[in-house]
Structure 1
Amino acid sequence: MPQSFDFSTPTSTGSTPPSEFYDGSDAVSSYVPVISSLSAVYSKSALPAQEQRWGSLVALFRQLYPNEDLTFIARSPGRVNLIGEHIDYSLFDVLPMAITQDVVIAVHVGGADGQIILNNTDPRFPSRIFNIADLKDIEIDATVHEWSNYFLAGVKGALSLLPLAEIPSMHCLIDGRIPTGSGLSSSSAFVCAALLAIVTAVKAAAPHSESFANAVTKSDLVQSAVVSERYVGVNSGGMDQSASVFGVPGHALRVQFYPELKATPVAFQSDEFAFVIANTLVVADKHVTGPIHYNLRVVETTLAAEILANQCGLGPLPIRDGFGGTLRGVVEAFKARGVDIPGVMNKVNEVFSKPEGYTLAETAQLLGQSEVEITQKYMTRFPVRFERFQFRARALHVLEEAERVKKYCEMLNHAPADHSDGDGEEKYLRALASLMTASHRSCRDLFDCSCDELDELANLAVTNGAYGSRLTGAGWGGATVSLVPKDKAVEFVDCLKKQYYLKRFPGISEDKINDAICITEPALGSAVLVGNYNV
């Protein structure tokens, strides 16, 4: 296996790397950085394994494409959401962070075949070839679970972002290390990496074109990736893509969607804790279960907002992405009338007084629209299946969770200055973690997006010394994130291995367990790497 990977100097052969396309001056700059060292991407502890991985990637690329130079490698990481679940598509702030696990795409630009060739390091995903001439009219069938659809979603995003651009021939090798269905946003990372690879290839093929030079920012990439992922049937709110693109080492990101997209790094001012991600190994595939889970919650929160506006005389709400109003719009409308968040929650309880929920006919009556109108407007682009809408519970979760995000950020920004008081430090960490625990309860009881395995892992985490624990990601499977004392993190991981993985999955391999649970740290977001690909 290759033992090293050298990005020390720029390439001298092949297509010109598009370094002028990004300023790369710092991790929070407007443009995605072009870098030449893996040490700028991964921590010291993660670097040895990553050097081997990237070395293997380059070696396989050369086997697959023996006569082609490697032009660049694009990468985007997964994310873990610390707090703020299912509120991004209602335009409330969230607090994720990018993680080490990522999707990387090695690319040769400029072949004469007029094709995009996709290979994957995972043999489960067969090669795919697409003619560039067909891409502008290509349709993605979201009902078919096909791995290359995520790359094609990036193609459609690039064509929308750069309508005058010509996509060059691209021969690609893709390597993803984010477990699918784990709640760590593997699909969003793939779409972001694909979109970045295509935009970078366009620039590499025509570095002096004025139609898109210095025109694509991180915000552009995020907004395009949000729309692009909808081509594969997921109505995402934007948190996943923002964390993947904007990630900053050593920081969480307060991602704001109102009044415009903004990602603000929030430093961890205490170093006495660690985050541990534990995958339930229950696959939560938004593509498959969207109609009864994720997409249904988007529809429920959207309809709740529209009904509140109609019943409370708030007038038309600002529309999100042509889909409908948001609960953030409701809060802002009430705020203009002097009504605070507790007052809005009272209105929610008044308007949605039926604990059993609402049928489509009852929903139509509350909105003053026909069932056909509601179905066509809210349930056609992203089909849903339901018996009754649970408007009150969904709206209360969103409003309460938004308040928890505010408090969590305030606590991070005002960590105890004096770390000598051990009791004070522990009280602070327990108070921080209590917000995470409250978030999990709300996801379980109000938003109904937990599952038995998530609840078990969260309970085991607290039993084994975590300050707090919660599901992270869409839920219905996937992973938990736990706040644990830093000096007990390794012991904590061992306990979960014995009490959850070995107990639930007898005979599970050590490698699979190690893939499922990890001590994580906030990582760099999207980047393009160029240099000497010496293995």
Structure 2
Amino acid sequence: MSDIRDDTAETFTTLFGYEPSGLWSAPGRVNLIGEHTDYNLGFVLPFAIDRRTIVALGLREDGIARVASSFAEEAVEIPLAELSPEALEGWSAYPLGVAWALGQRGADLAAVPGFDIYIESNVPVGAGLSSSAAIESAVALALSDVWRLDFDRETLAQVGQLAENKAVGAPTGIMDQSASLLGQKDSAVFLDCRSLESQVIDLGFDRAGLVVLIMDTGVAHAHSTGGYAERRASCELGASLLGVASLRDVTVDDLPRARELMDDVTFRRVRHVVTENQRVLDTVAALEAEGPRAIGDLLDASHISMRDDFEISVPELDLAVETAQSNGAIGARMTGGGFGGAAIALVASEDLSRVQVAIDGAFAEHAMAQPDTFVVTASQGAIRER
């Protein structure tokens, strides 16, 4: 981590001609279970990972916001007074959208100083590990500090979600930003997406001799494209047909009535969300009562539901999950919004190499591009680095 911090500070100085006033970082996240439940005001169980985005920031006196990054050729600048979702596009909509969203939550953009920001990250992009929320969370924490807003982390998560929804145009829930801001070492964040109440849940992976293997298929996805929005619309239609405000208010016992009221596709979308909510609750209970080796079947069932009912998996994700399962994984599932990205497998440490070799072989046999496999650990949420 020290290398990326130093590189970020040095590049900031080279680009802008002065040293940054501080460095902030925020992690990506893995969602252990609870997919597409967040915007349905249900339950999720993500954890922050040891892949982070670093933000170097310095203040300006001219009211200009200027952002640059290691993944873009040119800096983007705009007067704070002109920030709006319509004025933002491309990668810069993530950090600049946060500045706009802070204004929507009470920051006086006519009174605060401008800023220069440089961003580096080792969170894989497009892998379903929430590289976008890592940017948003690091920038939100940085600007809250230097503008002396003193917003709590729950508010900053809402700021990040607002930026993602309005400035970026991705209709996501609040899970990713909450995980990035609230995460703690060796723990998951059990989040009620309706009340926004959260609880830190001890994962116990290391004590149980388990690791979380990421299987990044390299199949890129984008939340702002149609598939994600269509799934959300189906969920809203299902809730409307059932006469409830959100699918959070629907239980497994309500599914027979749901089947009678809606077409097959809408019903299957609803069934995924309802059963996934229950799987999150069951996973939390199993972790607390029996430990992490007891959650494998729940992870497996989650993937089947996403593959068959929500239809957001792809052949590469299915192959990664099935290969991990057949080579000793405790449980495996795709993670993230779907249509590409990564899958996770909960694996005994002694089986890790066997699973990785089997995945490489399976993808070669199916003439698919080799996935990137690596282990992540539950990490601390967003912090000021220096």
Partner of 1:188: 133
Change (3 A) 1:502 1:54: farther
Question: Is contact 1:182–1:281 with CA below 8 Å preserved after alignment?
Answer: yes
Partner of 1:29: none
Aligned residue among 75, 79, 82 for 1:127 = 75
Question: Is contact 2:44–2:193 with CA below 8 Å preserved after alignment?
Answer: no
Aligned residue among 279, 303, 316 for 2:216 = 279
Which amino acid in structure 1 is aligned with residue 26 of structure 2?
Answer: S
Q: Shift of residue 175 of structure 1?
A: 0.6
Report the number of matched residues: 382
Q: CA RMSD in A?
A: 2.0
Question: Is contact 1:101–1:177 with CA below 8 Å preserved after alignment?
Answer: yes
Quick one: distance in 2 between partners of 1:53 and 1:164? 32
Runs (5+) with no aligned partner, structure 1: 1-49, 204-211, 310-316, 318-324, 332-340, 356-389, 417-427, 531-535
Mapping 1:304-453, distance limit 5 Å: 304-309=238-243, 317=244, 325-329=245-249, 331=250, 341-352=251-262, 354-355=263-264, 390-415=265-290, 429=293, 431-453=294-316
Q: Shift of residue 529 of structure 1?
A: 2.0
Partner of 1:521: 377
Partner of 1:11: none
Quick one: distance in 2 between partners of 1:51 and 1:185? 22
Question: Is contact 2:43–2:191 with CA below 8 Å preserved after alignment?
Answer: yes
For structure 1, which segment, 74-83 or 54-63, has the greater mean C-alpha deviation from structure 2 after superposition? 54-63
Confirm whether residue 139 of structure 1 aligns to residue 86 of structure 2: yes
Quick one: distance in 2 between partners of 1:504 and 1:263? 43
Partner of 1:230: 165
Scaled by the length of structure 2, the TM-score of the pair is 0.93
Question: Is contact 2:187–2:202 with CA below 8 Å preserved after alignment?
Answer: yes
Question: Is contact 1:125–1:147 with CA below 8 Å preserved after alignment?
Answer: no
Aligned residue among 190, 194, 198 for 2:143 = 198
Question: Is contact 1:183–1:473 with CA below 8 Å preserved after alignment?
Answer: yes
Q: Describe the SS at the equivalent of 2:381.
A: coil
Question: Is contact 2:66–2:117 with CA below 8 Å preserved after alignment?
Answer: yes
Change (3 A) 1:138 1:456: closer
Partner of 1:23: none
Q: Describe the SS at the equivalent of 2:133.
A: helix
Which amino acid in structure 2 is aligned with residue 521 of structure 1?
Answer: T
Q: Shift of residue 501 of structure 1?
A: 6.5
Q: Describe the SS at the equivalent of 1:525.
A: coil
Q: Shift of residue 503 of structure 1?
A: 6.7
Quick one: distance in 2 between partners of 1:504 and 1:103? 33
Question: Is contact 1:157–1:195 with CA below 8 Å preserved after alignment?
Answer: no
Confirm whether residue 101 of structure 1 aligns to residue 51 of structure 2: yes
Q: Shift of residue 138 of structure 1?
A: 6.2
Aligned residue among 208, 213, 219 for 2:154 = 219
Q: Describe the SS at the equivalent of 2:86.
A: coil
Quick one: distance in 2 between partners of 1:411 and 1:463? 23
Confirm whether residue 454 of structure 1 aligns to residue 310 of structure 2: no
Quick one: distance in 1 between partners of 2:382 and 2:137? 8
Q: Describe the SS at the equivalent of 1:139.
A: helix
Q: Shift of residue 505 of structure 1?
A: 5.7
Structure holding more strand per residue? 2
